[in-house]
Structure 1
Amino acid sequence: MAVRIRPARAFFHGRSSDGEARPDNRLALMDQGFFAGHRAAGQKEVTQCVWIYEHPVDFDGLRRFHHNLGYGLMGRRIERSPLPFARHRWVVDRWPADIDIAECARPRSELSDWVDERSQLPTDPEWGPSWHLGVLPLTDGATAVTVVASHYVIDGLGFVVAVADAILGNRRDLGYPPPRSRTRLRAVLEDAGQTARDAPEIARALVVASKLVRPTRRRESAASPPVGVDAGGGDEPVVVPGITIYVGLEEWDARANALGGTSNTLVAGLAAKLAERMGRRRSDDGAVTLQLPISDRTEGDTRAVALSLVRVRVDPTRVTTDLRDARAAIKQALTTLRETPDESAQLLWLTPLTPKPAFKRMVDAAFADPDLPVIVSNLGDLGSLVNRADGTPSEYLSGRGMRQGLTRRWLERIGGEMYLLSLRIGGKISITVRAYQPGAENTKTALRELAARTLAEFDLTGKID
C-alpha cells in the first residue's frame, strides 16, 4: 500500500477528573461507515499476517509479542452508541485468552489450508476479541505463526505499525476507557449533545449530497449490469483460493527496470495480466481496472481505516513487455488524488444518520462493480523488523486481506473477485493473490499454475505456496 505522509493530528474531547484533556475516542467517520456498511450488508473482513520459521521458534519471545499486541491499535473494540444516529466509540479490549498452538503437527502441503482455517475463525470488532494469534508446528521441523485481526479495527499499514510496536515492546496507551464505563443516561446525553454540535457539518453534507445526487443517478442509469452467472443452489460456504508468490528482490527489481517500471508498477502489471487470464476485463475497451488503496496514515494515527482509493485502467496486453503506459497511468491517478479536492468527503458526516437498507444497497453495489476491479495493495519495503514475531527473523513473511462467511452464490452473483497484496522484506517480495472466477475451476492448484505461467510471461521465476 503506497504511503502518503501528513502531519499527525491529535483529537481531544473534554477533560478528565484531574483536568487533563481526554483523547476523543469516537470512531472516525470513515471507520464508522466501513463498520456499519459492511455490518448492514452481512460482510466480514479481516487482515492476516503469516510468519514461517525454518528454525526453532522462541516461544518466550512469541508470548511477549502476543502480550504487547494488546496495547495500541489492536487492543480495542467498538462500543456502539445507544442512539441510532450518533458516533460509536473505541473502548479497551486487550487480549484474546492465549496463543492458540495446534496440538498436532501438519505436513507442509497443508500449511495454506491451516492459514485459511485461521482466517475464518471469528473476530468480533464489537464484542471481542478482535484478533487472535495461532501457531502450527510442521512435520518438517518448521513453524508457522499467524495473526488475524478484524479489518474494522485495523488496516494493512496499521497492522504493520502494531506489529512493529509489539516487537519493540512499545506499549501505547491510547487513553480509551474500559467497556461500558458510561451509564446509559450519560451516554445518551453526551452523544446527543455531540450530534447537535455536529449539526453545521451535517447541514453542509446535505447540501453537497443534493448537488451530487443527479450526476450519480445519470451514471447509474447508464451503467451496464455486473457480469455474473447463475449459481443455482450454490449457498455452500466458500473460502476464496489464495496463494503466495515469493521472488528475489534483485531479480524483481531488475525486471521492473527493464520494462520501464517500478516495483509497484510490476505488481500492478502482474495483477493486470492475471486478471486478463481470469476474464476480468472491461467489456467496452478490454482494459483491466485496478483499484489501489493509498495510505495516508500518520504517526500516532488511531484511525482503523486510513486510506483513499484510486482507480486505474491498464491495458493487459502490453504489461509483459512494457510498463511505461501503466506507470504513467498510475502516476496520473496519484497526482489527481493529491490535487483534486474530494467534495464527496463531506458526505461522511451523514454516516451516523444512514439507515441500514441504504448502507446495504451501497455496499452491494460496490461489490457488484461492472468494471470487475482488481484490488492491488502495496505495503512497500518493511525493513528488517516486522518479520521478527518471536524476536528472530522468520524466513518468510506474507500478508493478505480475507473475507469471512462467503457463499458460492454471492461470489458468482458479483462476478468473482481478485485481490493482490505485496510487501518487501528479507531480500524477497511476497505477493499474495486471492481470486475467484465464476464458472471456473477455483482451486489453489489451478491458481498456482496460472501464477507460474504468468510469472514466466514476465521472465520471472519464484516460489509459489
Structure 2
Amino acid sequence: MNRLSVLDEIFLRSHRGLGTPIVLQGLWRTAEPVHPALLWRVHRDLRTGPLGRRVVRSRVPGARPRWQPNESAHPFTMTSEPIPVAAILEWADRQGEDLNPETGPGWRLSAARLDDGGCLVALTCSHALADGRALTLAIDNALSGIPLAAPVAGHSDWADARGMWATVLGGTARALRRGIPARPVPNTDREAVSGGRKSGDRPATLATVLQIPARDWNRVAVAHAGTANSLFVYVIAKMLWAGGFQPDTIAASLPVDTRDEPRVDNDMSMTEIAITRDDTPASLRQQARRAYEHRMTSPGGIPEELLQVIPDRWAYRLAKGAGERDILCSNIGNLPESLLALGPHACTGVAARAIHPGLRLDALPRTRLSGYLTRIADTYTLSLVSLDPDAVPTAAALTALADAQLSALGLPSTRW
C-alpha cells in the first residue's frame, strides 16, 4: 500500500513532538574491521530499496498521505578513531538523531571502529518507515537480494478521500447508535522522575544487549512448560519487579506481526496481557495465546481511520498512550541467516531494538522497560531499554537486573 496506515501516522506524529519518539535499529558486531567500501555498497542498495521513500501529504481533505520514492540519504559514515567497546550502545543511541520520514532521509547507515579491533555497524530507521520485522527484510534484501513484495498501487487522492470519509462517517454513526463511547482515561500512575533536574543531568533511557545460547533458552522454556516467547515475557516482568515496581500486576504490551508476505512497512498490531507475581512461563503461554486473538482496538467501536482525517493535535490527544503499558515485549523472531555476515566478515553478534532520540525526562511514557528478542542461528539476543531512570540509574544496573533474572533460571548470558 503506498498510503500511510493509522500506525504509520502515529509514528510520524511522534517525529514532530506529538508522542514518544521511536526509531528502530539493527546492530552488527564483527571481531575484525569491515572495509568501508563494502558498507558503501550496502548503503547504495538500501538507498534504492524500500527504505528509500518519504511522506508526501495530500491537499485533498481526508486523503491519506502517500509514500514517494526518495533516494537522497544520509551519507554512510565510519568513525575515524576507534571507540571503547564499553561505549558502543551510547554511540548507537546517537545514530537516531536527525531522521525525518517527511523531508527525508528517514534512515541512516553508520559504523564505528572498536578498540578491540572489531567493528559495529548500525542501520537506524524511523518507525514510520518500518517495524522491526520490516527492518530485517530491508537489510536482507540489500545483503542477499531476496525479493520483497511489490507495493500495492493506490487510488487517486480524491478516490482515497471518498473511501476514508465513507469509512469514518459510516463507522462512527454505527458506533454512536450504541451510545457515546467513554473518553480514554490517560495513565496517571507514572510518577514524575525529573525531580527538578535538568534534562541534561542524566539520560532518559539506558540500554544493554545480552546473548544467550538458543539451546539453553529453549531448554529452560520447555522445563517451565512455556515457549521461547513466554519465557521472554516472564523475564522482562521479573526484571521490572526486581527494579522496585510496586503493583502486583504488570500490564504488558505485545506487538504482533500481521504481514502475510515479505513487505517493508508497519504491518503489526498490539495486544496486551496482565501479569501477576504468581504467573509462570506456562501460564503466560496460555495468556499470550488468548491475547493474540484479541487485538487492541479503538474505544467504543469508533473507526481508527478517524485519526487520519482530523488535525494532528486532535488525533494525538485521542490516541495518546495507545499501546503503552508498563512493559513492552517485542519478539521480533528469527532473523535471516544473511545477517550472519557482512561480506567476508562473520558477525559475532546481531541485535535489533528501538531507541528514543530526544526523549525528555519530563515526557517519559508509561512504559518503564522494553525488551526486544531475536534469534539468529544458535543464539538468542535480548536487547533491553530502560525508561525508568530512578529505578535503573545506570546501564550497569540494567545489566545486573537482567543477569540476576537469567541466572535464577540457569541461563548463561554474555554482555555485548
Q: Tell me the TM-score normalized by structure 1.
A: 0.80
- 8 Å Cα contact 1:75/1:93 also seen in 2: yes
Once residues 213 and 108 of structure 1 are traced to their aligned partners in structure 2, the CA distance between those partners, rounded to angstroms, is: 58
Aligned twin of 1:295 = 257
Aligned twin of 1:182 = none
Once residues 117 and 108 of structure 1 are traced to their aligned partners in structure 2, the CA distance between those partners, rounded to angstroms, is: 15
Aligned twin of 1:112 = 89
Cα distance, 1:229–1:28 mapped onto 2, change above 3 Å: closer
- Please report the RMSD computed on the Cα atoms of aligned residues, expressed in angstroms: 3.0
Deviation at 1:37, TM superposition (A): 6.3
Once residues 416 and 84 of structure 1 are traced to their aligned partners in structure 2, the CA distance between those partners, rounded to angstroms, is: 34
Residues 1:352 and 2:329 are matched in the alignment: no
Q: Which deviates more, 391-400 or 53-62?
A: 53-62
Aligned twin of 1:231 = 194
User: Which structure's CA Rg is the greater one?
Assistant: 1
- 8 Å Cα contact 2:6/2:307 also seen in 1: yes
* Partner AA of 2:115 in structure 1: T
Q: Which deviates more, 60-69 or 374-383?
A: 60-69
Aligned twin of 2:31 = 54
- 8 Å Cα contact 1:243/1:448 also seen in 2: yes
Cα distance, 1:384–1:124 mapped onto 2, change above 3 Å: same
Residues 1:462 and 2:413 are matched in the alignment: yes
Aligned twin of 1:316 = 277
Cα distance, 1:438–1:89 mapped onto 2, change above 3 Å: same
Structure 2 gap ranges (5+): none
Aligned twin of 1:439 = 390
Q: Deviations over 1:179-210 (max 9, x none)?
A: xxxxxxxxxxx534531354322222222442
- 8 Å Cα contact 1:419/1:433 also seen in 2: yes
Aligned twin of 2:368 = 417
Structure 2 counterpart of 1:74, from 39, 51, 56: 51
Deviation at 1:40, TM superposition (A): 6.0
Q: Structure 2 matches for 1:12-161, cutoff 5 A?
A: 25-36=2-13, 39=16, 41-83=18-60, 85-119=62-96, 121-161=97-137
Deviation at 1:43, TM superposition (A): 3.8
Aligned twin of 2:318 = 362
Cα distance, 1:390–1:366 mapped onto 2, change above 3 Å: same
Deviation at 1:345, TM superposition (A): 7.6
* Partner AA of 1:86 in structure 2: A
- 8 Å Cα contact 1:205/1:349 also seen in 2: no
- 8 Å Cα contact 2:172/2:303 also seen in 1: yes
* Partner AA of 1:76 in structure 2: R
Residues 1:262 and 2:238 are matched in the alignment: no
Cα distance, 1:269–1:197 mapped onto 2, change above 3 Å: closer
Cα distance, 1:213–1:124 mapped onto 2, change above 3 Å: farther
Aligned twin of 2:293 = 335
* Partner AA of 2:332 in structure 1: L
Cα distance, 1:349–1:106 mapped onto 2, change above 3 Å: closer
* Partner AA of 1:56 in structure 2: P
Cα distance, 1:212–1:422 mapped onto 2, change above 3 Å: farther
Once residues 294 and 60 of structure 2 are traced to their aligned partners in structure 1, the CA distance between those partners, rounded to angstroms, is: 38
Q: How many corresponding residue pairs?
A: 413
Residues 1:453 and 2:415 are matched in the alignment: no
Cα distance, 1:137–1:208 mapped onto 2, change above 3 Å: farther
- 8 Å Cα contact 2:308/2:315 also seen in 1: no
Deviation at 1:144, TM superposition (A): 0.6
Deviation at 1:361, TM superposition (A): 1.8
Once residues 341 and 111 of structure 1 are traced to their aligned partners in structure 2, the CA distance between those partners, rounded to angstroms, is: 38
Once residues 14 and 121 of structure 2 are traced to their aligned partners in structure 1, the CA distance between those partners, rounded to angstroms, is: 31
Cα distance, 1:365–1:145 mapped onto 2, change above 3 Å: closer
Q: Which deviates more, 388-397 or 398-407?
A: 388-397
Once residues 325 and 291 of structure 1 are traced to their aligned partners in structure 2, the CA distance between those partners, rounded to angstroms, is: 16
Cα distance, 1:208–1:445 mapped onto 2, change above 3 Å: farther
Q: Deviations over 1:226-250 (max 9, x none)?
A: 2313634345153400111111111
Once residues 69 and 148 of structure 1 are traced to their aligned partners in structure 2, the CA distance between those partners, rounded to angstroms, is: 12
Q: Tell me the TM-score normalized by structure 2.
A: 0.89
Give the 3-state SS of the residue equivalent to 2:64 in structure 1: coil
Structure 1 counterpart of 2:283, from 325, 338, 353: 325
Once residues 275 and 161 of structure 1 are traced to their aligned partners in structure 2, the CA distance between those partners, rounded to angstroms, is: 31
- 8 Å Cα contact 1:40/1:357 also seen in 2: no
Aligned twin of 2:169 = 203
Once residues 230 and 335 of structure 1 are traced to their aligned partners in structure 2, the CA distance between those partners, rounded to angstroms, is: 36
Q: Which deviates more, 34-43 or 128-137?
A: 34-43
- 8 Å Cα contact 2:256/2:268 also seen in 1: yes
Structure 1 gap ranges (5+): 1-10, 12-24, 178-189
Q: Which deviates more, 133-142 or 342-351?
A: 342-351
Aligned twin of 1:22 = none
Once residues 210 and 336 of structure 2 are traced to their aligned partners in structure 1, the CA distance between those partners, rounded to angstroms, is: 19
Cα distance, 1:248–1:348 mapped onto 2, change above 3 Å: same
Deviation at 1:417, TM superposition (A): 2.0
Give the 3-state SS of the residue equivalent to 1:420 in structure 2: strand
Give the 3-state SS of the residue equivalent to 1:460 in structure 2: coil
Once residues 178 and 232 of structure 2 are traced to their aligned partners in structure 1, the CA distance between those partners, rounded to angstroms, is: 34
Deviation at 1:33, TM superposition (A): 4.2
